[in-house]
A and B are shown apart, each in its own frame.
Chain A
Amino acid sequence: MLKSLLQRLGQTVFVLFGISVMVFLVFFATPGADPTARIAGKNASPATIAKVRQEYGFDRPLPVQYATMMKKLFITQDLTSYANRGEKVVPEIIKAAPVTLSLATGGAVIWVVVSILMGTVAAAFRGTWVDRTLMAIGLVGVSIPVFWLGQVANLITQARYHDTWLFSWVPPLGYVPFSESPVGWFKALLISWCTLSVLFIGVYARVLRSDLVTVSGEDFMRTARAKGLSPSRVLLVHGLRTSMITFVSLFGMDFAQLIGGGALLTEVVFGLQGVGRLTYQALSSLDLPFIMASVMYSAVFVVLANALVDVVYLFLDPRVRDGR
């Protein structure tokens, strides 16, 4: 167990290093393009260019450049955007991270709970109208575009029915830090959580249902029934528990992807200044330090979230624990 954990940790470090090198090479070692000019921005004065070259060590060998870059990104965190009047970019990202983390985590809680309920109930009643109705709802969830759903949710909760008792509690768009007011944080995010989770509920409920149906044909399910267990115990304790393995590996990918900026559309619709939105802004402003920093940090978030899920996975599946 401990060995597997350490192994996983080592892997994470290695992957992080690999990604950082790759991102660095893509941005700064592309032949024929001088990164100095791109960092300095359009129409930069020769003085600025000279300063940038010196600051990033572009006149020195690549490994030194890499080290300088990593230092500026993660240690001194003073990577500066020249295009944007000397704004420090890393604090910007650090500020965006909790927003995205809150959004993704809250959404994940909802989608995990609801999809497990839906998938399990559908599997238990498979072939009946309950099953068909739930799966049809899931399909609708999968097909609704997030930005449209978000707009509609906003329209209802912010404008049309905002003055009714049902939605008068909904605060204006934007983020409220948890440390400032946990209740405010919850209220500010609830609608966006629900919106974000709809798609995933649809996907996960369907995946879980089909997984449970497949599992119910397995030998060990027959053994469990032959022992005299009740159908619900067979389904939950033996079937669902085993299906959680697939569920979690799927969850790992989706959650990591959201943390790394995949919740862009939801963030935009609900006015949340998260990692996805930041990356999008960086890309559209062609601001190299900004892009570099957001890409690097997103990658770090994704890798960390993935590692976390893998640890959960390790707890769920004894076979993986033994390195099989």
Chain B
Amino acid sequence: MAGDAPLLDVRDLSVSFRSGGRDVPIIENVSFAVCEREILGIVGESGSGKSVTAMAIMRLIDDPGVTLRGSVRFRGQELTTLPQKAFRTIRGREIAMIFQDPMTAFTPVYTVGWQIDEAIRVHERLSKAEARARTVRLLGDMGVPDPERTANRYPHQLSGGLRQRAMIAMALSCNPALLIADEPTTALDVTVQAQILDLLRNLRTDYGSAVMLITHDMGVVAETCDHVMVLYSGRVAERGPAAAIFSQPAHPYTAALLDSIPPLTGPRPTRLPSIAGAPPAPLERPPGCAFAPRCHYAHAACDILPPLVRCAEQEVACVLPGEGKALPPRMTERVEA
């Protein structure tokens, strides 16, 4: 395959749930790609559809009222039409996933090591002892102290940070090409959070895995990702290389998100600027730009859904660049001040 063909290619993915007799669109026409060894950050406020996107790619939504449209190609193979049985050889082996809350993500009645062994043995013909040896090695790689003993402990006996490390070890157990991490650090305290992010950042060199990092924290993206996709109310607001987006956001929503990153150095402001209002509920989403009710620049042209257009290095769903009124570059000094 061509070297730069994306590992994961998502085109026009839409997910809707049936509720109260009508289809509620949760995400609409989301497209993005993840290349080998790349870290893509998916950012958005709570409810913007980040988890639904991830679950849809993994086909883990088992709600009977769900409708999935669009295409998800993994190494050129279409996943949306793959039979569940065939999909199981991809899940956990080619694409692995870790979740937000490490407290509840392990089955409480089995030891952590047992659960990692299980993940290995479902995909590879290994003896129990061989699987356990790999489990211990993985736990060690993830910086778990005394991995042999830790493997024999139950989830409730481990701290949140250790559990998330064990979770990542489990996700990496079959050397997946893509790791989907759904808010892996949200439930952890700040120092542990930095360690886990470090771990994720090193995966591409240590394991050759690409990472799809879901978060609502632009600060996390800044520290970790190569590319960024900003979701707003189930639609792509902006996507492109992280560096470009951080230096010159093209969507007012991205700009507002960036303004709300707490500075890494210097005195912390007592109150961070936050975006007034809340994103619209899926059913109340306006036909035009969903951000319009909260946007300072909203005007008549925004009543028609703006398509994704190229603007500098990124693509943005906003009418401003087309009108020649692109947002000014960000004054990064303000963050550092």
Contacts and interface: CB of A to CB of B under 8 A. Distances in A.
Interface of A: 127, 218-220, 222-231, 233, 237-238, 241-242, 245, 316-319, 322, 324
A242 B88 contact: no
Centre residue among B58, B109, B167 by max chain A CB count within 10 A? B109
B156 A322 contact: yes
27 contacts: A127-B64, A218-B104, A219-B99, A219-B105, A220-B104, A222-B60, A223-B99, A223-B107, A226-B58, A226-B60, A226-B92, A227-B91, A227-B118, A227-B119, A227-B170, A228-B88, A228-B89, A228-B122, A229-B88, A229-B92, A229-B122, A241-B107, A242-B108, A242-B109, A319-B108, A319-B156, A322-B154
A228 to B, nearest CB: 3
Nearest to A241: B109
A220 B60 contact: no
Nearest to A316: B109
Mostly helix, strand, loop or mixed at chain A's interface? helix
Nearest to B96: A226
B255 interface: no
Interface string B74-105: 00000000001000111111001101010011
Given A223-B106, A238-B107, A228 B91 contact: yes
A226 B171 CA distance: 9
A285 to B, nearest CB: 49
A230 B91 contact: no
Contacts of B108: 220, 242, 317-319
A225 B60 contact: yes
Nearest to A242: B109
B118 A229 contact: yes
Contact of A226 (B64, B97, B109, B156): B97
A198 to B, nearest CB: 30
B1 to A, nearest CB: 23
Interface core residue of B60, B90, B167 (most chain A CB under 10 Å): B60
Contacts of A219: 99, 101, 104-105
Given A219-B105, A242-B109, 15 more contacts: A220-B105, A222-B99, A223-B99, A224-B107, A225-B91, A226-B96, A228-B119, A229-B88, A229-B118, A237-B118, A241-B107, A245-B109, A318-B109, A318-B157, A322-B157
B99 A317 contact: no
A226 B156 CA distance: 21
B93 A228 contact: yes
B169 to A, nearest CB: 12
